[in-house]
Amino acid sequence: MGTRAAGGREHGAAPEVGAGILLRGPFTGRALRQQAYLVSSFFGGFVLLLWMIVALTVGSTLALFVAGLPLLMLAMVSLRAFSQRERRRILNLTGERVPAPYRDPRPSGKWSARLLAYVSEAATWRDLVHLGIATTLGLGWFITIVTMWGIALGAVSVPFWYSYLPHHRIPLMHVNGSEYYVSTTTGILTFASAGFLFMWFTSPALLELATRAQTGLGRGLLGLSRPELDRREEALRATRSQAVSAAEAERRRIERDLHDGAQQRLVALAMDLGRAKSKLKSGSEEDSEAAAKLVAEAHEGVKLALSELRDLARGIHPAVLTDRGLDAALSALAGRSPIPVEVDSALPGRPSPEVESAAYFVASEALANMAKHAQASRAWIDLDYRGGCLRMSVGDDGVGGAEAKAGGGLAGLGDRIAPLDGILSVSSPIGGPTQIIMEIPCEIPSVS
């Protein structure tokens, strides 16, 4: 149910238990982390389990009087926080990422609506089942670790305390009325060494098995279920198809713009220069003047071709976007628009280049469509970041009526951001105003 984190096995990922690990016993860095993980799994789970029992019992009893609902809400928040912490602990210990299966990781709104969102999630009840089973297993692992260290410390200290036993001997077993015991110094030292070596060589494998069982339980119950995995696989297929379609549409657009614009102008430029060359060969004054005129026209054509190539490059990925970021690129885009455009941006930093490029493309195409069809007197771009999501709104005060039809330009914008898990919505009633809203989940490191 888990997925391997990018970059392969991370620090702390499970190694094979080989001879080198066995020789170092329970004192390797990994063995100590495993022991801390298993012991904390029991104590943390035990405390939360007691709290959940009390909160669910009291909260359900008082729910009829409404007073118990906040207690139930607090219990659900605590359970989800514990599960999220367990996913991080599994990642830190094994290097394997357990994706959260929640439809809404952070429900918002009134507390009653939030409580309903928590309770209606199947993943919430899997979290509760995981808590009960993990705490029960954690008790077993805690007893195992205490026993392991008890054997080690008892074996090391045998020479110091065996003399206080009755008859100064260590009883081993009774067989058919006969008692077997250890009483000699050699026997005591052999017994102590055997116990200590047994613990030393078996504890790494035992800890590895216990850790894999506990983390496997977390991956199975805290990760995605099979139906959820199937849905995500289907969504990935759809976004992959959308990405291919968007790339193909972009390629065709570039080819069309090159063929209809710069290529045709360069062909005409080559013909003009050829005619000018022919006239210069004649040497007559009249032909020289005509050649100079053709060269002047060719010069203007070169400037127009360069302008068209620059516009084409801006539509793909302008230099200002790479150098100064999305804020500056949108301001430059607004400055070239035939419609007055207001840009309001409040970003704490720069998102990834892929997100910046997608957002710029959406804004560029939206403004181009508004200039062609909206009959607007003003437009605006609002850009902000909240809740782990980049949100951009592009709007105008035009005539409205824009629709995201299949195969249309607005649908193409949705295909462009779909591979980034982005969402595009269009509001454009007849008579206006038109508003195109783009949301892309991403991380933006804050600039200190």
- Whether 360 is in a domain gets the answer yes
- Whether 247 is in a domain gets the answer yes
- Whether 94 is in a domain gets the answer yes
- Whether 233 is in a domain gets the answer no
Residue 226: CB partners within 8 Å, gap ≥ 6?
A: none
Q: Which of 151, 189, 155, 185 is nearest to 168 (CA)?
A: 185
Residue that is last in its domain, among 316, 350, 375 = 316
Please indicate, yes or no, whether residues 146 and 209 belong to a single structural domain of this protein: yes
pLDDT computed for residue 15 by the predictor: 47
Residues of the domain holding 362: 324-441
pLDDT computed for residue 13 by the predictor: 46
pLDDT computed for residue 23 by the predictor: 54
Return d(Cα 393, Cα 387) in angstroms, integer: 16
Please indicate, yes or no, whether residues 67 and 173 belong to a single structural domain of this protein: yes
What CA dihedral angle connects 133, 139, 144 and 148, to 10 degrees? Answer: 150
Please indicate, yes or no, whether residues 312 and 332 belong to a single structural domain of this protein: no
Task: Convert the pLDDT of each residue in 77-121 to its tens digit.
Answer: 899 999 999 999 998 888 888 888 887 777 777 777 788 888 888
Return d(Cα 250, Cα 409) in angstroms, integer: 11
- Domain containing 340 — which CATH number? 3.30.565.10
**pLDDT under 70: residue ranges of the chain:** 1-27, 63, 66, 159-189, 191-192, 225-269, 279, 281-283, 285, 287, 301, 303-318, 404-409, 446-448
Report which residue type is found at 46: F
Q: Which residue has the tokens 């291919």?
A: 244
Please indicate, yes or no, whether residues 214 and 280 belong to a single structural domain of this protein: no
- Number of domains, the chain: 3
pTM of this prediction exceeds 0.75: no
- Whether 31 is in a domain gets the answer yes
Q: What is the mean pLDDT of the chain?
A: 76
Please indicate, yes or no, whether residues 219 and 265 belong to a single structural domain of this protein: no
- Whether 12 is in a domain gets the answer yes
Cis peptide before 433 (omega within 30 of 0): yes
